[in-house]
Amino acid sequence: MIVIPLKKGIQSIITYLKTNKVILVWIPAYAGMTYFIINMGIKVEASAPGKLMLFGEHAVVYNYPCIVTTVSSRIYVEVEKTSGLLKIDAPQVKNVRFVEETLKLFSQKYKVDNKILVKTYSDFSSQYGFGSSSAVTVATIHALGKLYKIKISKQGIFDLGYKVVLNVQGVGSGFDIASAIYGGTIYFVTGGKKIEPLTVKNLSLVIGYSGVKADTSKLVKNLKPDFKIFDQIKKIVEDVKISLLKSDWKTTGELMNQNHQLLQKLGVSTQKLDKMCEAAITSGALGAKLSGAGGGDCMIALVSKAKKEDVESSIVNAGGEIINVKINV
Ligand code: MEV
Residues 6+ apart with CB under 8 A from 214: 129, 292, 293, 294, 295, 296, 297
Pair 223, 189 in one domain: no
Q: Say whether both 137 and 209 belong to one domain.
A: no
Q: What is the pTM of this model?
A: 0.88
Contact between residue 323 and residue 201 where contact means Cβ atoms under 8 Å apart: no
> Is 328 part of any domain?
no
What sign has the CA pseudo-torsion 242, 248, 252, 254? negative
**Does ligand 1 come within 6 angstroms of the Cβ of 52?**
no
Q: Does the residue 79 lie in any domain?
A: yes
- Mark whether 33 and 74 lie in a shared domain: no
* CB-ligand 1 contact for 237 (6 Å cutoff): no
**How many A from CA of 171 to the centre of ligand 1?**
9
Same structural domain, 158 and 185: yes
Residue 329 inside a domain? The answer is no
Please indicate, yes or no, if residue 104 is contained in any of the structural domains.
yes
Q: Do 184 and 236 have their domain in common?
A: no
Q: Are 67 and 100 in the same domain?
A: yes
Beta strands, E only, the chain: 2-5, 24-26, 35-38, 43-55, 65-81, 87-89, 116-122, 185-189, 194-198, 205-209, 287-291, 298-302, 321-322
> What tens digit of pLDDT does each residue of 178-226 get?
999 999 999 999 999 999 999 999 999 999 999 999 999 999 999 999 9
> Packing angle between helix 271-282 and helix 249-266, nearest 10 degrees?
160
**Residue 301 covered by a domain:** yes
The pLDDT tens digits along the chain (329 residues) read 444 444 445 555 544 554 444 444 445 554 434 333 333 578 999 999 999 999 999 999 999 999 999 999 999 999 999 888 888 888 878 789 999 999 999 999 999 988 899 999 988 777 788 999 999 999 999 999 999 999 999 999 999 999 999 999 999 999 999 999 999 999 999 999 999 999 999 999 999 999 999 999 999 999 999 999 999 999 999 999 999 999 999 999 999 999 999 999 999 999 999 999 999 999 999 999 999 999 999 999 999 999 999 999 999 999 999 999 999 99
Cα–Cα distance list, 319 to 61, 225, 303, 313 (Å):
30, 31, 19, 10
Does one domain contain both 9 and 58?
A: no
Q: Same structural domain for residues 14 and 67?
A: no
Q: 34: domain range?
A: 2-38
Ligand 1 pocket, mutate which of 52, 61, 195, 215 (most atoms under 8 A from CB): 61
Judge if 177 and 47 occupy the same domain. yes
Number of domains in the chain: 3
**Are residues 317 and 220 located together in one domain of the fold?**
yes
3-state secondary structure of 105: helix
- Whether 176 is a known active-site residue: answer yes
Atom of ligand 1 nearest to the CA of 61: 8
* Separation between Cα atoms, residue 263 and residue 68, nearest integer Å: 16
